Structure 1
């Protein structure tokens, strides 16, 4: 078989309930020039035997077996070390890739030589496969750039990315058990463009055993640390010029990290809005669509934190929300978009 263009990397640990559907969704893609690298991370259920059976039945599959459970980050790096393709696509053992996913992403890379990372919209499903909401990321490059400073630029299992830049091979940070995708995307985007295809090409399964549920606090703290680094890298002049030391507070506010303290909240909100204003100076003043989308994102993040679980007292939350009164229109618009995402996912 000729060298594949796309290497799909899937690390598996005890995914027997969903694994065959996930595997079939990749092997039945309309784009067939691929290899599927499977890493069995010492599964103790039927996953190991399912992976062996599939590896014996399809020559495009390469199966790697860990001698012990090393976790997702280590396992993904083992897979990345083995890829032959120019492009790497991620996939999890409990999600479902829609048939045109890889073809649409390859087309995007062929259309833009500067593209280094491409994700897709998703349809969020539960354990039984019931559709709940449409997961959307900004498709506008200017909005995505703002978003990617604060959040992972694409959904991890929807990602396709370049892994080689000269002699450098991009790998996940093995010091991170969570938010490893956010860290990798942040470093990747220093090499080129990001893109999210605004059509859902992945059924993204949410259930109680996902890392986002089992390691929620650790994930929030790791994401806040990455966000803080991104802020210093993207706005170095701002933090020097303003003598502003509140990047950590901003990151904690966005990610609702338990490290966020009430006395930092006002400074964090003020700094976040100042950073937004700084970023908007890079956007054409006549590009009203981009400007409104950026403001809507910022408002959503603050509102989610202040209205959700937080160490802030209720009086402090109300006071901060009052500062956002000029953005009630943006908040109302975001609520409308959320309702539409729920409706579109179920059509």
Structure 2
């Protein structure tokens, strides 16, 4: 039985497939199986996969009878996975050589964590780094982030197979283009999450990627999940999908260019902070730190006119009620031209 089962679904992926597969087969941690699901490809993908399978028995080819789509293909992988841990990888991304080693070691050292992701590089067609992202590291930070958006990079995730088997968790075919966001939201009702700081994957952005081709549909579907996540911790919240979509940029603070109407909506994150603080298992000091950073960003990242609009909106009073010391320190820092040092 392998320690890790890595699931990769591919449809007409010949352009980037070699680089993706090579990055996995060259992992420093070698005890894994790579389950590749050929989803009705009509290009050179089937032949490439068979060549790899003949050279390396760790690569297993699963053939869909027709093009079933990403979600059913991933579920076929989950059903055949034999490993203790299940990793995900898209056929156009690139894994760093130590990805499996670091993630398996962390999960074995932290039995309370069932879902693990990591930092990642966003890359162009040629694999060149455009920017590097580091999602929140702790379970509490991840839960806060998932109220607004999916901040976990799918190709960086590794989770315990026991969760899939014990709770019958699967990707939901109805959650098209956001099947991962939906799964993480449900998975975190039965386990805890974490992120490794180190970037372990290069997430390739190109015109053919899902986030490019289906950007608008993906945004709408993500807003529905965000709304449901918010209501899960605050059932009395009167929120539409459009409200949740508008709130997405407010995850880390009220944007400087927020309209007066948006600033009224910004009261909701303060309410969500209160609701989340009452949830079982939440690390209160971590959440208070997230809230203080939210307040600091909202106050500091503003021109004089934007600062006046913030004061007129009444949001400042809500922030003062939530964390008076945090507001006072941020205002003092603003008065000092942002030069005040120390924790805020």
Q: TM-score, normalised by structure 1?
A: 0.78
Q: Where do 5+ consecutive residues of structure 1 fail to align?
A: 257-261, 302-315, 337-347
Pick one of 50, 70, 81 that aligns with 2:48.
50
Shift of 1:294: 4.1
Larger mean CA deviation between 100-109 and 137-146 belongs to 137-146
Change (3 A) 1:135 1:321: farther
**Cα deviation code 1:110-144 (max 9, x no counterpart):** 11112110001001110012211111100133222
Q: Which runs of 5+ in 2 are unaligned?
A: 250-258, 299-305, 320-326, 339-344
Q: Distance in 2 between matches of 1:156 and 1:181?
A: 7
Cα distance change of structure 1 residues 295 and 47 upon mapping to structure 2, 3 Å threshold: farther
Tell whether the 8 Å contact from 2:230 to 2:272 is kept in structure 1 after alignment: no
TM alignment of 1:81-96, pairs within 5 A = 81-96=79-94
Contact 1:224-1:251 within 8 A present in 2 as well? yes
Specify the SS of the correspondent of 2:174: coil
Kindly indicate whether residue 286 of structure 2 is the aligned counterpart of residue 276 of structure 1: no
Q: Distance in 2 between matches of 1:24 and 1:214?
A: 26
Using the alignment, how far apart are the partners of 1:192 and 1:321 within structure 2? 40
Q: Higher mean Cα deviation, 152-161 or 319-328? A: 319-328
Distance in 2 between residues matched to 1:119 and 1:321, nearest whole Å: 38
Which residue of the other structure, out of 109, 128, 131, is the alignment partner of 1:111? 109
What's the Cα RMSD here?
3.5
Match of 2:222 in 1: 223
Aligned residue for 1:213? 212
Alignment check: 8 A CA contact 1:231 1:247 kept: no
SS in 2 for 1:17: helix
User: Any residues of structure 2 matched to 1:1-347 within 5 Å, and which?
Assistant: 3-165=1-163, 167-236=166-235, 239=236, 244-246=237-239, 248-255=241-248, 265=262, 268-279=265-276, 287=285, 291-296=288-293, 323=313
From the CA coordinates, give the structure whose radius of gyration is larger.
2
Check the 8 A contact 1:14/1:44 in 2, yes or no. Answer: yes
1:62, distance to aligned residue in structure 2 (A): 1.2
Change beyond 3 A, Cα 1:206–1:294: farther
- Cα–Cα, structure 1 residues 297 and 265, in superposed 2: closer, same or farther, change >3 Å? same
Alpha-carbon deviations, 1:156-193, whole Å to 9, x = none?
01000123336433210011221110000001111111
3-state SS, counterpart of residue 15 of structure 2: coil
Shift of 1:300: 7.4
Deviates most, 276-285 or 71-80: 276-285
Provide the C-alpha distance between the structure 2 equivalents of 1:249 and 1:279, rounded to a whole number of angstroms: 22
CA distance in 1, matches of 2:297, 2:277: 17
Partners in 1 of 2:132 and 2:274 — Cα distance?
A: 29
Cα displacement (A) at 1:196: 0.3
How far 1:44 sits from its partner (Å)? 1.8
Rounded to whole Å, the distance in 2 between the matches of 1:213 and 1:300 is 29
Shift of 1:273: 2.5
Task: Report the number of matched residues.
Answer: 309
CA distance in 1, matches of 2:28, 2:51: 22
Per-residue CA distance 1:315-340 (angstroms, 9 max, x = gap): x9x9579746788969x9xxx9xxxx
